[in-house]
Amino acid sequence: MDPRLDNLPGLTQKALCEEFGINPTNIIRNARVRGLSSPDYLQQLTGWVYRKGKYYPPEV
pTM of the model: 0.78
Give Cα 17 distance to the centre of its chain. Answer: 8
Question: How many structural domains does the chain have?
Answer: 1
pLDDT along the chain (60 residues), means of 10: 60 94 93 97 96 87
The DSSP symbol for 4 reads G
Residue 12, pLDDT score: 95
Q: Supply the range of the domain harboring residue 38.
A: 3-56
Cβ atoms of 40 and 31 within 8 Å: the answer is yes
Residue 39, pLDDT score: 97
What is the C-alpha separation between 3 and 45, in angstroms, rounded?
Answer: 23
- With 0-12 / 13-18 / 19 or more C-beta atoms within 10 angstroms meaning exposed / middle / buried, residue 43 is middle
